[in-house]
Amino acid sequence: MNANYYENKLDLKKVINASGKMTILGVSKVNKKVIDAQNYGATNFFEMDDLYIKSGKYITNLINEKVKSNSYFEDAQIVSCTSAGIAQMVATTIAENITKIQNEKLNAPFDFINFKKREVIIAKGHNINYGTPIEIMIKLGGGIVVEAGYANMCNLDDFNNKLTENTTAILYVKSHHTVQKNMLSLEDMVKFSKSKNVPLIVDAAAEEDILAYSKLGADVVIFSTSKGLNGPSSAIVLGKKKFINGLRIQNKGIGRAMKVDKSTIFGTIRAIEDYIYDISSNETNKIDTYTIATKFVDKLNKIQNINASIVKDSVREIYRASIQCEKPKIAAKIIKMQKEQSPSIYVREYQANIGIIEYDVRAISEEEIEIIIQSLKNIMKNIEEHDE
């Protein structure tokens, strides 16, 4: 199939993704090995319940063998995305409080009349919008959102104050999207949840150090496959057997509306294999963002009136090219013009209000870097001519 086949047929815009793993752009580029695994899944039949259980066991074993000791992950389940994992896990903890009868568990998240134990505590600074407000996923699972602390701070007392007999779980969000300062560490949160015997669900969607989490001891951790693992659109829920089993029950409840395709299950397995084997062999399948960003910055600095430098992600080991514009107005203009041109260039624009534009290098080719450079040259020339 011609590379532009559907682009032409559907009249689609070609996109250069220098913004990162963005849902609005389809998140990740999936490699050939993952596609092959997806192909295997797509063209064969399986006993699906068996596949869910065995794929979960396989992934758990892969991680535990790599980590060797002190892993807290007992089992895993592949779900359609992180959001689905949050909703289903909230439903699971509610069902756990309410009933031991499997069929009743399916309705547990929605029976508001009889059951009050459905409150999910989340730090106010973690109550984020990642394109969708995270609290919608809590509500989708039947939870009631209870915020702890303030926009800029949250400590153990704040959590303790919100803890009641109706608390069903704590949701901790580990992400660059959250407030970083004056928040509880995940380590402290784990200790707290254990001492209070409240299930702790960790949303680690875009984190890339999965193995580190296996030692932390949270009850449940959810990783997106399409973000850190460059896999298909899915997520892996890892944790205590009790909760993973509960989540499988919810698969036949609200989870049905978030069903995972069999091809995606195999793509997910392949993506996690890549991740584990890669780090064990020290081969660098992993993209060296520092080297790519450094070369990119050199090229950027040759453009007139562009002031570029290399920056590290606020939390993760990801390096990007960053340009500091003289005025926020110029940054806004560059962002707009790059988006409007063909191919369309998407950048990180979180700090455009202070004149900063960042280019994420994880999914751009050398050829695309040249297109970005050329486009910036043209834009800067245009800005100069119109400003003088």
Ligand X SMILES: *Cc1c(COP(=O)(O)O)cnc(C)c1O
Residue 355 or 358: the one with the smaller Cβ distance to ligand X is 358
Residue 43 dihedral angles phi and psi, to the nearest 5° = -105, 15
Distance (Å, whole) CA 292 – CA 288: 7
81 binds ligand X (CB under 6 A): yes
Q: How far is CA 197 from CA 24, 169, 200, 379, in A?
A: 38, 9, 9, 57
Stretch that binds ligand X, among 90-98, 151-159, 170-178, 255-263 (CB under 6 A): 170-178
Q: How many residues make up the chain in this entry?
A: 388
Stretch that binds ligand X, among 77-85, 315-323, 358-366, 373-381 (CB under 6 A): 77-85
Residues 3-62 that bind ligand X (CB under 6 A): 23
Stretch that binds ligand X, among 36-44, 80-88, 366-374, 379-387 (CB under 6 A): 80-88
89 binds ligand X (CB under 6 A): no
Q: Which of 60, 92, 175, 251: binder of ligand X (CB under 6 A)?
A: 175
Q: Which of 55, 71, 83, 127: binder of ligand X (CB under 6 A)?
A: 83
Stretch that binds ligand X, among 64-72, 148-156, 187-195, 201-209 (CB under 6 A): 201-209
Would you state the torsion angle of the CA atoms of residues 335, 337, 338, 342, taken in this order, to the nearest 10 degrees? 160
Residue 78 or 293: the one with the smaller Cβ distance to ligand X is 78
Residue 384, C-beta contacts closer than 8 angstroms, at least 6 positions apart: 304, 305
264 binds ligand X (CB under 6 A): no
119 binds ligand X (CB under 6 A): no
Would you state the torsion angle of the CA atoms of residues 260, 264, 266, 272, taken in this order, to the nearest 10 degrees? -100
82 binds ligand X (CB under 6 A): yes
Residues 279-318 that bind ligand X (CB under 6 A): none
Which of 28, 123, 42, 128 has the alpha carbon at shortest distance from 83?
128
Per-residue b/e over 179-192, b at no fewer than 16 CB within 10 Å? beeebbebeebbeb
Q: How far is CA 290 from CA 127, 313, 317, 349, in A?
A: 31, 11, 9, 20
Q: Which of 94, 108, 183, 205: binder of ligand X (CB under 6 A)?
A: 205
Smallest distance from ligand X to CB 304, Å: 36
Alpha helices in 126-165 (DSSP H): 134-140, 156-162
Judged by DSSP in three states, 210 sits in helix
Smallest distance from ligand X to CB 120, Å: 14
Smallest distance from ligand X to CB 239, Å: 16
Q: How far is CA 118 from the centre of its chain?
A: 25
Residue 53 dihedral angles phi and psi, to the nearest 5° = -65, -45
Q: Which of 235, 271, 308, 325: binder of ligand X (CB under 6 A)?
A: 235
170 binds ligand X (CB under 6 A): no
Residue 127 or 193: the one with the smaller Cβ distance to ligand X is 127
Q: How far is CA 22 from CA 131, 156, 362, 372, in A?
A: 9, 33, 12, 18
Smallest distance from ligand X to CB 110, Å: 21
| 348 beta partners | 358
Residue 235 or 292: the one with the smaller Cβ distance to ligand X is 235
206 binds ligand X (CB under 6 A): yes
Smallest distance from ligand X to CB 315, Å: 11
Residue 140 or 357: the one with the smaller Cβ distance to ligand X is 140
Q: Which of 177, 262, 348, 362: binder of ligand X (CB under 6 A)?
A: 177
Distance (Å, whole) CA 97 – CA 165: 11
Residue 83 or 92: the one with the smaller Cβ distance to ligand X is 83
Distance (Å, whole) CA 209 – CA 31: 20
126 binds ligand X (CB under 6 A): no
Positions that interact with ligand X (CB under 6 A)? 23, 81-83, 130, 173, 175, 177, 203, 205-206, 224, 235
